[in-house]
Amino acid sequence: MKLAVAALLVGSAAAFAPVAFNPRQSSSLSAELLSKQTGISSLDPSVIASYASLGLPADKILAEYVWVDAEGGTRSKTRTLPAAKGESVDKLPKWNFDGSSTGQAPGDDSEVILRPVRIFRDPFRPRSDGVDNILVMCDCYTPAGDAIESNTRAVAESQFEGKEDEVCWFGLEQEFTLFNLDEVTPLGWPKGGMPSRPQGPYYCSVGPENNFGRQITESLYRACLYAGIEISGTNGEVMPGQQEYQVGPCVGIDAGDQLMMSRYILQRVCEDFQVYCTLHPKPIVDGDWNGAGMHTNVSTKAMREEGGLKDIKEAIYKLGAKHAEHIAVYGEGNELRLTGKFETASVDEFCYGVANRGASIRIGRDTEAEGKGYFEDRRPSSNADPYVVCGKIFDTITEDVEVPVIEPMNKEEA
């Protein structure tokens, strides 16, 4: 079966144009057989299952402490704790890691302190005795108690602090792109080539010729629900090999905690499937392929109440006045994605519109019709830091300033 697939790909490779550019480095790993759905895991599931079935002492839990590293990715390590400590985040002890190994501390003072901020159930270590092993989201401090540079959560926390009455909801759409382990060939693409059909059939697709990586998204979905993450949906995306899930609505800083943990879970799932996942905003630059974003849907309490459209528009004017400031923190490489093509607005211009997917900010038709609801900031890239994005948006829209009115650019007029 696998050989037949390989032969098919080799046989048809000449028909595809070569990929001239890919922003990531090719690694030495190579997957010779290109599966359209998953990589090739060398792990025998029955062997793993036999270890996983071993019972754990009822008075102990495994706690996986997760933190954000210097590149905005996640890292983790495990410790055994008395089960009672896992009942609430305040009962969990602080911990530490060697920051000199992650580029987060100098070698001569390498200890970084992990402060637990949020508990999730661990979907990778389920147990049947009614006790939960846990994933613990942490943020990072120096031994003296100062937030380290990569701790963007601490900044966001201060931005939200004292303004709890706003009850700001965030719904984050996380797009991601799956590759074979060669890190060059997106899932479903022929090695060294491109799909023979252009974009069109892949978005929200079904069928083996259209949807690549569904099992990864499905597994992520289950794992997130099990963990207690408010994952609100998933869909196949426009570029073959690209997928999306949404987290939210979550209130304030919790949006950052939940999205970061969902990214950790995504990486763990991809590890199991042996598929490389990137959050790069423009994984394939050559050709007509969509980039990947982290559309950020936002509403304050006032926006969700009668007449809230007025508040939404005021927030949009404030965001327009600080366009460049926002773009600067909306993700690395985002300028490759925000070209004004492929359902994006240009990185240099701010515009908004009703139902306009070519705008920086979109107001949904329902929100306009009901005169209340939420808006969607379409600018953040898939690799953007959710703490930075949510904190920055909140800071800008709750600022007490007068800003000029901006005229909408609706689809009909565009």
Binding site for ligand ADP (CB under 6 A): 169-171, 173, 232-233, 246, 248-249, 295, 297-299, 304, 373-374, 376
Q: How far is the CB of 136 from ligand ADP (least distance, A)?
A: 24
**What residue 394 binds from ligand ADP, Mn ion, none (CB within 5 to 8 A, per partner kind)?**
none
Which of 117/361 has CB closer to ligand ADP?
Answer: 361
**What residue 249 binds from Mn ion, ligand ADP, none (CB within 5 to 8 A, per partner kind)?**
ligand ADP
Which of 244/272 has CB closer to ligand ADP?
Answer: 244
Q: How far is the CB of 173 from ligand ADP (least distance, A)?
A: 4
**What residue 35 binds from ligand ADP, Mn ion, none (CB within 5 to 8 A, per partner kind)?**
none
**What residue 19 binds from Mn ion, ligand ADP, none (CB within 5 to 8 A, per partner kind)?**
none
Residues 68, 115: contact at Cβ < 8 Å?
no
Q: How far is the CB of 296 from ligand ADP (least distance, A)?
A: 9
CA dist., res. 297 & res. 210, Å (int): 28
Q: How far is the CB of 263 from ligand ADP (least distance, A)?
A: 15
DSSP state of 15: G
Q: How far is the CB of 77 from ligand ADP (least distance, A)?
A: 30
Which of 189/374 has CB closer to ligand ADP?
Answer: 374
Contacts of 298 (CB under 8 A, 6+ apart): 168, 169, 170, 171, 315, 374, 375, 376, 377, 393, 397
Q: How far is the CB of 232 from ligand ADP (least distance, A)?
A: 4
**What residue 380 binds from Mn ion, ligand ADP, none (CB within 5 to 8 A, per partner kind)?**
none
> Taking CA 306 as the corner, what is the angle to CA 304 and CA 307, rounded to the nearest 5 degrees?
100
Q: How far is the CB of 219 from ligand ADP (least distance, A)?
A: 19
Longest dimension (CA), the chain: 66
Question: φ, ψ for residue 216 (rounded to 5)?
Answer: -70, -45
Q: How far is the CB of 70 from ligand ADP (least distance, A)?
A: 28
DSSP state of 328: H
Which of 248/320 has CB closer to ligand ADP?
Answer: 248
Buried b (16+ CB within 10 A) or exposed e, 107-135: eeeeebbbbbbbbbbbbbbebeeeebbbb
Q: How many CB atoms lie within 10 A of CB 355?
A: 15
Which of 70/355 has CB closer to Mn ion?
Answer: 355
Which of 76/232 has CB closer to ligand ADP?
Answer: 232
**What residue 248 binds from ligand ADP, Mn ion, none (CB within 5 to 8 A, per partner kind)?**
ligand ADP
- By beta carbon distance, the residue nearest ligand ADP is 171
**What residue 232 binds from Mn ion, ligand ADP, none (CB within 5 to 8 A, per partner kind)?**
ligand ADP
Question: φ, ψ for residue 290 (rounded to 5)?
Answer: -60, 150
Which of 172/321 has CB closer to ligand ADP?
Answer: 172
Contacts of 162 (CB under 8 A, 6+ apart): none
Residues 281, 265: contact at Cβ < 8 Å?
no
Under the rule (CB under 5 A), what is the footprint of Mn ion?
A: 173, 244, 295
Q: How far is the CB of 303 from ligand ADP (least distance, A)?
A: 7
The 3-state DSSP class for residue 2 equals: helix
Q: How far is CA 291 from CA 139, 174, 182, 285, 295, in A?
A: 30, 12, 20, 8, 12
Instruction: Compute the Cα dihedral for 271, 273, 277, 283 and give only its sign.
Output: positive
Identify the CA nearest to 331 among candidates 48, 72, 57, 61. Answer: 72
Residues 141, 148: contact at Cβ < 8 Å?
yes
Which of 176/387 has CB closer to Mn ion?
Answer: 176
- By beta carbon distance, the residue nearest Mn ion is 295
Which of 295/318 has CB closer to Mn ion?
Answer: 295
CA dist., res. 231 & res. 228, Å (int): 9
Which of 124/342 has CB closer to Mn ion?
Answer: 342
Q: How far is the CB of 199 from Mn ion (least distance, A)?
A: 13
> Taking CA 153 as the corner, what is the angle to CA 151 and CA 157, rounded to the nearest 5 degrees?
135
